[in-house]
Structure 1
Amino acid sequence: MNSPISAAASPLAEQAYRKITRRLIPFLFLCYVFAFLDRVNVGIAQLDMKHDIGFSDFTYSIGAGIFFLGYVLMEVPSNLLLTRIGVKRTFSRIMVLWGILAAATAFVTLPSHFYTVRFLLGLAEAGLYPGIIFYLTRWYPVERRAKAIAIFTCATGIAGLLGGPMSGWLMTHMEGIRAMHGWQWMFIVQGLPASFLGIAAFFFLDDGPEKAKWLSDAEKAQILADLKHSSGVSGTHAEHTFMNALRDPRVYVMGFVWFAQIAGVFAIGFWLPTLIKSTGLTSPLEIGIYSAIPYFVSWIALIGMNWNSDRTMERRWHCGITMIIGALGLFAAGLIHGSLAWSLVALSIATAGILAPNPLIWAISTDYIRGSGAAGGVAVVNCIGLLGGFVSPMIIGSIKTATNSMAGGLGAISLLMLIGALAAIVLAPKTTGARSLEELAADRLDDSAAANVML
């Protein structure tokens, strides 16, 4: 493992990064809560939706997964456009459109309607997650990045923690209001806030530290110096143009690791309510409340795992071991029948092991993919990975339709995650954030000089 960074950061740096975290992370966090909620709330909606409009498990699986085909098609163009027109315009466009389309899911009546809306939703939302990851690289140096990404990625856990009970409540208590089903109200209530957040993003976000009026000149100089020292071209991680990224095998390694991880994420995201229902529960509200427990456990695991990774500056083993734990929990969840308590234990282990490595994968990727092609390279990794969101529900749905059991499908996804974990441990790039004490001391002298010039 790499040596931990032991040199203390300057008070100016700590002050600057506290400002950045307080300003950016809560807003980005809220945006991604609604993004993840709008991806996975269909998992709770389908408990009643399939009966109300006559969808089969396989129809639901296609609709759930086709979102990712649209996402992948627009992923790279969206991220390349981000570097041209800026963060504010890109995020506003994404969120306004996705909010409208997410709400429109309430009005589907045929499988073709469902497929079309989900596909268009994927097109609209494409670029948000990698765009935010790339955006954070403009504010945080590599040794602070996993923690920042981890705090932001907690949105997935919070979306599950709050979204399950909220979705269940809406489906139970809004049923029949204005002649609409509860699941229709759920899509509207959880979809439209994204459009309002998109409008707010245009006025609230800055494209980089140099444009942030809420930072002092000395703080801007400190941040820009930190980014230059930690994220510049190094002897081991060369600059990537977009074409270099397309030719680099390790970009595809990280794409595969993300593919395996995303297959697990949406095995949980789309099928967790069904697994809990199989223990004998029938009320959407009860199912939604119990669905929150695995996400709460994952939230704790995500913060702890990524804090330790930043402390030691080791990524690959943290990522791989956690993925293995998630795979074992997912496999066990498919074998447990009739026991709510044991199902929740297995699902909590699975969800924690599946969600906790997400920031680590992006900390490795953004440390490795540097230079002018970083946005496009990150989008390539995410494009490959998000195909897992299409493959996962298709595998599970088709096997469940054929066998009337979740065990085979969850076993297949568990095996895929194990292979991804081994790829992360053996083939992923090493993190270069840990530097010698002499380099850190020289950096602090350079940063102080830069800050004094700005003053």
Structure 2
Amino acid sequence: MTANAIPLEQLDTDALEDSIYRKVSWRIVPLFICCFLFAYLDRVNISFAKLQMASDLGFSETVYGLGASLFFVGYFLFEVPSNVLLHKIGARIWIARIMVSWGIASACMMFVQTEFWFYTLRFLIGVMEAGFVPGVLYFFTQWYPSTRRARVNSYFKSSICLCGIVGGPIAGLILGHFDGVMGLAGWRWLFLLEGIPSILLGGVVFWLVKDRIEDAPWLSAEEKQVVLSRMAKEAKPATPQKVKDIWKHPTTYVMSAIYLCLVMALTGLLFWMPQLIKSAGVTDTMNIGWLTVIPYIGAVIGNLLIGASSDRHRERRWHMAACATLTAAGYLVCALFPGQLLPLMIGMTMIMTGIIAWMPIFWTIPPRFLTGIAAAAGIALINSLGQLGGIIAPFMVGRIKDLTGTATPALFALFAVSVLAIALIVWGIPKRYYAKEALQD
């Protein structure tokens, strides 16, 4: 045997672990992908509803931008309490509750008549959905070792791409073909038909999800032991942590600032993509829906390739920085070629690919300095503070568009936000949280 050869027993152990984790992933990841798909449909279907809703109800661009933003106010206020409760109650019950309540709130958007109820329901959807994404990410930390997390996070976050791929055509179909059915506008049907599946999926989560590895009936005793042994090897802080400990880490604030930039870059495009395409001369709602698919197809391919590369090379910093650079370049392309469909589609594809690939790598860092309930609360805090970007960006784009008649200045601003994120990624996070040694067994 050569000095660099891997012992046969190690190969056997790795192969067994890979086999078990494939089984684990097929059991839980597709379900959460499906859940996240409808979470995002319910979150962003407002961008397609606006194509009819704004004119029907007489809403200005500023009113729409503020309503889109208020989702994130509710999300911000209730994110940390929701994840602390998830840690205490368990993922199965709490995530099921989240899904049922946000589905009901989203479906109720069909009854909106005034600005007040538009603002109120957008806020309530944020309150009800708070804790879902960080809750699932925390759930993954209880099942997957750090060396597998970027990949599984990338699968989960690919739901955003899937939402864009199926959401645009579905929204265009509903808006175009359900308009006037039973006397209801197409945008009202959109909220109803996309809210019901979330309620049903809540019941599926309650039935299928198990909080602990030990409780999974679909794993044998030997398979459970392999997974538990692997999780026991994970590096953890030397002393137990409490919720208050999340405030002691400067990295928490740096991570929050990076995520704020990321969410601004995402929502600045997410809530305005159909309008940007319309500004390039496309007026048919079905065609707009199909064109929104293109950036997401590019994003899902880039996300899976970049996530796998990050895990394979056990490298986080430069993968994240490259994603942020791609996002910044995409915004620059969109800003420099306003109203031109081809450059716009290329730029939006660059933006979405950078953002979607950036997120799963980003979420591998918090468990390096937080554990236990502090990890649950810390992931929620970072996500919550970052969601402030969702308050700022949609309102900013709407306000600038009302004042100037164009979204171009806002696109330049989002380019600058992405450049700031690059600097924070490279210089703001301590090197020890990026170190390859921290990712090894």
Report the TM-score range of the alignment, normalised by the length of the smaller protein.
over 0.9
Q: CA deviation at 1:16?
A: 1.4
Distance (Å, rounded) in 2 between the aligned partners of 1:231 and 1:31: 30
Q: What percent identity do the matched residue pairs reach?
A: 35
Offset from partner CA, 1:279-319 (integer Å, 9 cap, x none): 11111110000000001101111111111100111111111
The 10-residue stretch of structure 1 (83-92 or 428-437) with the greater mean CA deviation from structure 2: 428-437
Instruction: State whether structure 2 residue 201 is matched by structure 1 residue 192.
Output: no
Q: Do structure 1's residue 20 and structure 2's residue 15 form an aligned pair?
A: no
Aligned partners of 1:227 and 1:433: how far apart in 2? 19
Q: Distance in 2 between matches of 1:435 and 1:334?
A: 41
1:426, CA displacement in angstroms?
A: 1.3
Shift, 1:435, TM fit:
4.3
Distance 1:327 1:108 in 2: 36
Name the structure 1 match of 2:258: 257
Greater shift in the superposed pair: 209-218 or 93-102: 209-218
Indicate the residue corresponding to 1:293 in structure 2. Answer: 294
Offset of residue 432 of structure 1: 6.3
Which residue number corresponds to residue 308 of structure 2? Answer: 307
The residue number in structure 1 matching 2:398 is 397
Matches within 5 A, 1:12-411: 12-233=16-237, 240-411=241-412
Structure 2, unpaired ranges of 5+: 1-5
Unpaired runs of 5+ in structure 1? 1-5, 441-455
Q: Distance in 2 between matches of 1:83 and 1:217?
A: 25
Mapped to 1, the partners of 2:371 and 2:228 lie a distance apart of 15
- Measured in 1, the distance between the counterparts of 2:438 and 2:181 equals 64
SS at match of 2:387: helix
Could you tell me how far 1:337 is from its partner in structure 2? 2.9
Q: Deviation string for 1:97-130 (max 9, x for gaps)?
A: 0001111111101111100000000000000000
| RMSD of aligned residue pairs (Cα, Å) | 1.7
Q: Which amino acid aligns with 2:313?
A: T
CA distance in 2, matches of 1:70, 1:432: 32
Distance 2:168 2:354 in 1: 19
Deviations 1:176-199 (A, max 9, x none): 001111111111111110010001
Find the residue that maps to 1:233 and give its secondary structure: coil
The whole-number CA distance in structure 1 between the counterparts of 2:108 and 2:235 is: 42
Query: Helix, strand or coil for the counterpart of 2:365?
Result: helix
Give the distance between the partners of 1:152 and 1:95, measured in 2 at CA.
16
CA distance in 1, matches of 2:420, 2:369: 21
SS at match of 1:428: coil
CA distance, structure 1, for counterparts of residue 283 and residue 31 of structure 2: 35
Q: Quickly say closer, same or farther: Cα 1:335–1:432, change in 2 above 3 A.
A: closer
Q: Shift of residue 278 of structure 1?
A: 0.7
Paired letter, 1:204: L
- Mapped to 1, the partners of 2:235 and 2:279 lie a distance apart of 48
TM-score (norm 2): 0.94
Contact 2:338–2:408, Cα closer than 8 Å, also in 1: no
Q: Please tell me whether residue 10 in structure 1 is matched to residue 14 in structure 2.
A: yes
1:202-247 C-alpha deviation (Å, 9 max, x unpaired): 111000211111111121111112112124336xxx7542111112
> 2:25 and 2:200 mapped to 1: Cα distance?
22
Distance (whole Å) between structure 2 residues aligned to residue 112 and residue 365 of structure 1: 38
- Whether the 8 Å contact between 1:232 and 1:371 is mirrored in structure 2 is no
Aligned length: 431
- 1:306 touches 1:356 (CA, 8 Å); kept in 2? yes
Shift, 1:372, TM fit: 3.5
Q: Output one character per residue of 1:142-174: Cα deviation in whole Å (capped at 9) or x when no partner.
A: 000000000111000000011011101110010
CA distance, structure 2, for counterparts of residue 231 and residue 123 of structure 1: 34
- Whole-Å Cα distance in 2 between the matches of residues 311 and 239 of structure 1? 30
SS of the residue aligned with 1:78? helix
Amino acid across the alignment from 1:20? V
